[in-house]
Each structure stands twice: as C-alpha cells, then as structure tokens.
Amino acid sequence: MIRRLLVLALFGTGLAGLVTKRNLIKKAYALAIMNSAIVILFVLEGAAIGSDAPLLGGAGKLFVDPIPQALMLTAIVVGVCVSALALTLAYRLYRHFGTLDIDEIKRRIGHE
Amino acid sequence: MRRGKLLSAATGLAAASLALAVLAPVVMSDVDWPTAARDTIAADGYAATGATNLVSAIYLGYRAFDTLGETIVLLVALAGSVALVASTPGRPDLDRDGGPADSRGPGHTDIINVIAGKLAPIVLLFGTYVMLYGHTSPGGGFQGGVVLASGVIFIAIGRRAGGIGRISPSITAFGPRTLSVIEAIAFATVLALSFPGSGAALAGLIEATGASAGVAAKGVAAVGPIIALNIGIGLKVGSGVALLCVMMLGGDQE
C-alpha cells in the first residue's frame, strides 16, 4: 500500500508538472515522469508473486511475473517516442518564437 | 481578474478530483496478482522459444508481431522527429572548420572531449553484448540499441578538432547518411523475419549449416530467430536514436 502511494505521488508529481509548468521542456519531462510512474506500478505489482528475476537456470526459483515486464518494455519504447516528438516540437517552437513559455507562444500566435 | 482566478482554481480542483477518482481504485485495490500466466511461461517458455530469459521469450517469441508493431511506432516517431528537426529554419550555423561541437560553447570542455571519446568504444562494446545476449541474460534489442546509440553520441560530442570521432561522413562510418542506411536495412531485416515461417526457415538453415551448438536439447525450439530479431531491432533502435541525436547536435550540416 505504501509503495503504491509512493507511485501515486510520483504520478501526481508528473501530472502537476504537466498542468502547472509553462515551460515546454518541463512539460515534456513531466510526461516522462508520469510514464515512469506507470512502468514502476506494473513492475511492482508483477513482482508481488516472486522474488527472482525471470531467467531460467538453477532450481527452486520463484520468478516474478515476466508478462508485465515485457509489456512495460513496450511502454518504455512508446514513452521514448513521445518524449522525442515532444522535445522536437518544443525545439521547433523555440526556433520559431524564441521562447519556451507556452502562454507567450499562444499570445504570439494570436498576434500573427 | 479575481473571477478568472476563482474559475481556474475551481477547474483545477475538479480536474484533480477526477484524476483521483480514476487513480484511487488502482491504489486501493487488494486483488492478488494472478500466478497462472507466470507458472505457464516458467514451465513452457524455454521449450517453446529456446530463450532462457523469459521476458525475451515473451516479446520476441510469443508475441513477436506485437514487437513488430512497436518497432513501427518507433520508426514513425523517429521519422517524424527527424523530419521536423531537418526542416527547422534558422538552425544555428556551424563554424567553418568542422562540426558543431567544435564550436566550444558553454559546457563543452576538455574533460568532456577526452572522457567521452575514450568511453565511446567501451559503451559500444557493452551495447553489442547486451544486444547479442538478450535471449539468455537481461537485455535485448531495445536495451542494447539505446546503449549503442549513447556510444555513437559519445563519439559525436567527444570530438577534437580534426581528430577522430567526428560524425562526418567523410571521416567516420557514423555519419547521418550511414546511420539512416543502417536503420533501413535493420528494419527490413525485422520485417522479413516477421513473415510467417521465416523464423522456422532461419532455424532450419542454422541447423543445416551445423551451427546448432546453441540448441540445447531435443524438443527445444532453436533460439536463432530470437537472436536475429534482437540484432535487427538493436541496430534499428541504435541507429535511429543516434541519428535523431546527431541531427539535434547539427551533425547533418557539414
């Protein structure tokens, strides 16, 4: 329970950063933090039924569930894709407007 | 003004309580994690796929098609990012006598030059190991690929003026053009391996050439297709991520 609350706090950190920060780079990192929280939650829950890494060899091992780990591999890759695209868009916006402040960018788009 | 603040505070509160309503059941849940899937895979995974790393057995053996889709997602995202970076107007100009990192901006010190250049071969070797042994130890194509990419990035930032380690097509094999060619070939390999039966054909070919030392016992599937997929995915991820980072460093503007 306490572990899940910590994961929830991590997720909440990301969500709060995504909502309240104006800097686009910080928003991209907030997305990455939320992604990490989900990954940690799945790996944590899958590890509840065992204690050994899911590598065969040696007897009497009690494996953790390998399925959440394989799923989270996908989630990590998709998270990297999201980060790459978000950072690229932020880079492009910075090159065009000279600022990373989302309110400032919105204001300038309204002026053009 | 005051009214706007009140409104945004109310909206924020409503959004936070909605998020909590979604997340609270996840945290409060006291259902035990099921063990059936774990037991099945621990019992049959090795015989069915030949991989002793059960995570590899799942994502390259049982559901390799899913991994193909994941690779396509990565390809599309990286292609979009690379296109956006390449078409950005007003990118910083490079200095005349070399690549972007030769311009000694803030943060580009002698320490980074020396250490990154020395570290690059070790990181590349480690990435290759992680990529090749993903079927039997922690690691695999995706993990090894990003380590390979960081090795290439070390080469890119650890350059000395005129020395080795320049990401320039005329000097090293790690230019943006080479990286994109490697990525295309690796992705074609992954696609070819994903056709029905091609994995079995590859396993048969490996066995026919007598290189079946890796096949442990009768009744155990050959692990060759998983190793081949790991290599293909590793090269694809490594060259793709490295290409994006090199372009963000401005390495395509020689």
Test A55 with B137 for CB contact under 8 angstroms. yes
- Classify residue A26: in a domain, yes or no: yes
Cα(B120)–Cα(B116) distance, integer angstroms: 6
pLDDT of residue B170: 52
pLDDT of residue B211: 58
- Classify residue A18: in a domain, yes or no: yes
Test B26 with A56 for CB contact under 8 angstroms. no
Q: From first to last of its 254 residues, what are the pLDDT tens digits of chain B? A: 678 889 988 988 898 888 888 888 888 888 888 888 888 888 888 888 888 888 888 888 888 888 888 999 999 998 899 888 888 776 554 433 344 444 444 556 777 777 887 888 899 999 999 999 888 888 888 999 999 999 888 887 776 544 444 555 555 556 777 888 888 999 998 888 888 777 777 777 776 666 555 555 566 677 778 888 899 999 999 999 888 888 877 655 54
Q: Average model confidence (pLDDT) for chain A?
A: 88
Test B74 with A91 for CB contact under 8 angstroms. no
ipTM over 0.95: no
DSSP state of B218: T
- Classify residue A37: in a domain, yes or no: yes
Strand partners, A55: B53
pLDDT of residue B101: 44
- Classify residue B22: in a domain, yes or no: no
Chain A: which residues have CB within 8 Å of chain B?
Answer: 1, 4-5, 7-8, 11, 15, 19, 41, 45-46, 48-50, 53-57, 63-67, 69-70, 73-74, 76-78, 80-82, 84-85, 88-89, 91-92, 95-96
DSSP string, B31-65: PPPP-HHHHHHHHHHHHHH--SBHHHIIIIIITHH
Q: Which residue of B has its CA nearest to A88?
A: B81
pLDDT of residue B245: 83
How many domains is chain B built from? 1
Minimal Cα–Cα distance from B251 to chain A, Å? 16
Of A15, A81, A95, the CB nearest to B19: A15
- Classify residue A53: in a domain, yes or no: no
Cα(B237)–Cα(B134) distance, integer angstroms: 15
- Classify residue A39: in a domain, yes or no: yes
Strand partners, B53: A55
- Classify residue B189: in a domain, yes or no: yes
pLDDT of residue B164: 42
Whole domain around residue A97: which residue ranges? 2-48+64-111
Test B27 with A82 for CB contact under 8 angstroms. no
pLDDT of residue A25: 93
Whole domain around residue B200: which residue ranges? 52-89+97-248
Helix (H, G, I), strand (E, B) or coil at B168: coil
Q: In chain A, which residues have their Cβ closer than 8 Å to the Cβ of B248?
A: 88, 91
B interface mutation test: which of A74, A78, A94, A103 has the most B CBs within 10 A?
A: A74
How many domains is chain A built from? 1
Q: Which residue of A has its CA nearest to B9?
A: A20
Confidence label for A29 from pLDDT (cuts 50, 70 and 90): very high
Torsion of CA B105, B92, B117, A90, to 10 degrees: 100
- Classify residue B15: in a domain, yes or no: no
Query: Higher-confidence residue: B223 or A28?
Result: A28
For residue A102, is pLDDT > 80?
A: yes
For residue A27, is pLDDT > 70?
A: yes
Minimal Cα–Cα distance from B109 to chain A, Å? 24
How much is the average pLDDT of A75-97? 90
Query: Higher-confidence residue: A60 or B142?
Result: B142
Minimal Cα–Cα distance from A88 to chain B, Å? 6
pLDDT of residue B104: 47
- Classify residue B200: in a domain, yes or no: yes
pLDDT of residue B172: 58
pLDDT of residue B102: 46
Q: In chain B, which residues have their Cβ closer than 8 Å to the Cβ of A5?
A: 27
- Classify residue A96: in a domain, yes or no: yes
Of A54, A57, A78, the CB nearest to B55: A54
- Classify residue B46: in a domain, yes or no: no
A10 close to A40: Cβ distance less than 8 angstroms: yes
Q: In chain A, which residues have their Cβ closer than 8 Å to the Cβ of B70?
A: 74, 77-78
Residue A8: give its domain's CATH number: 1.10.287.3510
pLDDT of residue A86: 93
